[in-house]
Chain A
Amino acid sequence: MKKEMGRRDFIKGMALSGVAVAGVTTLAGCGSGSADSTSIEWVEEADVLVIGSGFAGLAAAIEATNAGATVKIIEKMEMPGGNSTINGGGMAAAASPLQAKLGIDDSPEKMLEDMLFAGLYLNHVEKARVVAEKSTEAVQWTIDYLGVEWRDQLIQFGGHSVPRSYQTTNASGSGIVKKQLAKLKELGVEVGTGRKMESFVSDNEGRIIGIEIIDNYKFGEESGQSKYIKANKAVVLTSGGFGNDIMMRQQQDPRLTEELDCTNQRGATGEAMREALKIDAVPVQLSWIQLGPWASPDEKGFGYVPNFSVPAACPWGIMVDPETGKRFVNELTDRKRKADAIVQLGHPIINFCDSVGAAKAAPGVMDNALGKSILEFSTLDEMAKHYNIPVTNLKETVAKYNSYVQNGEDLEFGKPIPPTAQPLTNAPYYAARIYPKVHHCMGGIMVNAQAQVVNLDDEIIPGLYAAGEVTGGTHGACRLGTVATTDCIVCGRIAGQNAAKEESWV
């Protein structure tokens, strides 16, 4: 590996003799002036170069291609899709056709207000507004243009004031990613996997003119060869967050040690984001890192339990502290408030519902997780015994909650009881242990509403766009469930459209 690094550094040094390779701090002494792009050996080129192949990158690539640009996508991992292809496949849309069909009153303003409330009003409002306002247009695009198949019901994720989240029929983001990839194939654009972005290359005006990549890269082995790809019009950075970058997440939030599990794919590390920071992109709210309060210590990574807890056990059931047998939080509050409440207890909690509620779990979840991370109990006594919950307290808690359901008002925690909720009396009961896992980085680099990356002097970095989790500010302190997908599709498309409109520097 050292040998590889040495060779790479040598090549870097050669290139630097005539050009500024932005963001390589080890060579900062060479400065970022005296650019001469003619001395770089560009081995490939494209009008628009997309870094990362999640929802945002693929959306950007599709739009840029349709706008007439030649497009290349690079992806450091073996397979395309990043976190986008392994999540629950939810996408929030305000005032959507499905809401209209189901008689749910909603508006982009309502969605924006939900986003701001959850985000502790730290959100960059103009960014959040774009996402809310274009949410329905985006979901419609996935249906009409991509052919994504959505379930015919909507889910009310925590922190949303109404049910507004679509979910793919396969309950996975892959339901969208696969369609995006198929569309790109049709358009003649393939994802170059095993290609890692190493640094930005800019001219002496600071315009981004291409990137250095490590080709034949293998995650974990850090192997490969240095190459330069020219971006005639623009680079679109859609490299995702850094949830699985233990060094980086601990720099921002020292509590997020390696002991804490993570729902992300292992390549969710922050080196591409750091390269943007090195060329003076503005870091926005990097320390707001979301913990998913629906993940289970009884399974790896994202797992099945989120698709039980979110659509079933939270709206149609309750969460109890096994030490007291009592509720401790509004089960439908946003992720931050719920995760904080669990972390404050300091141990996994029990989230359960009855058989009526369990029927609302995402397709396939009960089949796959039952008897493993989700358990079935024929009585509350049996459940109390298994989890060592004080049984009298548990029964009192359930009785109290059932009275709230009957009266339609949660007098303790203000949970918005779903209008069709029924008391928890229909055995068997289904339960899962929950403890938060690192899930999403709200923070990232700053972009304007046109998806242009902004620098520390509040100037646009020419030739650089970004979208998705690598960007910060849209969600403030807390991203609402399924709004990331909307963010990625909406802003990825904007980034791709605008990148294609750039004047070529060549």
Chain B
Amino acid sequence: MEESKPQGFRILSKFSRKRIFLILILLILVGGVGTGVLLVKASDNPDFCTMCHIMKPYYDSWYDSSLLANKHAAEGLVCHDCHESTVTVQVEEGFKYVTGNYENPLTQREFSREFCLECHSDFKEIVTKTNFSESNPHESPHYEDMECNLCHNMHTESEVYCAQCHEFEWQGSLDNEWQNI
């Protein structure tokens, strides 16, 4: 049977089956990696995040609000600057979204003080700025090294942690702007 086939076909069939297979795999790999790279690249754009509808309120607060997330936007920061995300995490999140295994609204993420201070590095200056006569919210007598996000929220209004127990005069003197810093 084989001899009856035209030579060209035989060669193609003999040498290229493997090659075609390899090329296909390569194409898939290159395509996959390329798509992956493109997706990861695209995901740096906050618009990408809104592909999941549950992200919209967080996106909105970044895009156009008086909240702290928007202040970070004004400085050129995007979602992934704080919500650092690996490919694995993104794939996981995508899978969770597709399968409906997600919370809405999302649990508020916690960020360490060290993380915030990577950019807001001059903490001493921050302390100086809030040295009110009655007390200094950045220098609590009760706690050392308080986490920034005990007071400062990105996507919701900030709140004075100390106000659980105290009514400081300086709280009244802060205008609404405080809730957005």
Contacts and interface: CB of A to CB of B under 8 A. Distances in A.
Interface stretch (B2-10, B18-26, B139-147): B139-147
A216 B167 contact: no
Interface in A155-200: 170, 172, 174, 177-178, 181, 194
A299 B135 CA distance: 16
Interface string A49-91: 0000000000000000000000000000011110001100000
Interface string B110-152: 1000000000000000000000001100000111101100100
B99 interface: no
A379 interface: no
Given A300-B166, A300-B167, A368 B108 contact: no
B146 A79 contact: yes
B103 interface: yes
Given A265-B164, A300-B165, A301-B165, A172 B110 contact: no
A462 interface: no
Contacts of B141: 170, 172, 174
Interface in B160-176: 163-167, 169
B86 interface: no
Interface string A354-368: 000000000000011
B165 A302 contact: yes
Given A3-B103, A265-B165, A81 B110 contact: no
B147 A368 contact: no
B104 to A, nearest CB: 10
A139 B160 CA distance: 34
A70 B81 CA distance: 37
B135 A266 contact: no
B144 to A, nearest CB: 6
A303 interface: yes
Interface in B68-119: 103, 107-108, 110
- The binding surface of chain A is classed by DSSP as loop
A223 interface: yes
B164 A266 contact: yes
A265 B142 CA distance: 12
Contacts of B146: 79
A119 to B, nearest CB: 28
Contact of A216 (B110, B147, B169): B110
A477 B23 CA distance: 84
A145 to B, nearest CB: 19
Interface string A213-237: 0001010010100000000000000
A368 B163 CA distance: 15
Contact of A303 (B135, B144, B165, B169): B165
A470 B16 CA distance: 78
Nearest to B164: A266
Nearest to B168: A368
Interface of B: 103, 107-108, 110, 134-135, 141-144, 146-147, 150, 163-167, 169
Instruction: Across the A-B interface, give the 9 residue pairs with the lowest CB-CB distance, nearest first.
Output: A301-B165, A174-B142, A85-B142, A223-B107, A79-B143, A300-B165, A368-B134, A170-B141, A172-B141
Given A170-B141, A301-B165, A301-B166, 10 more contacts: A3-B103, A78-B147, A79-B150, A86-B142, A174-B142, A174-B143, A216-B107, A265-B165, A302-B165, A372-B167
10 contacts: A4-B103, A79-B146, A81-B142, A85-B142, A85-B143, A170-B141, A265-B164, A301-B165, A303-B165, A368-B134
Interface of A: 3-4, 78-81, 85-86, 170, 172, 174, 177-178, 181, 194, 216, 218, 221, 223, 265-266, 299-303, 367-368, 372
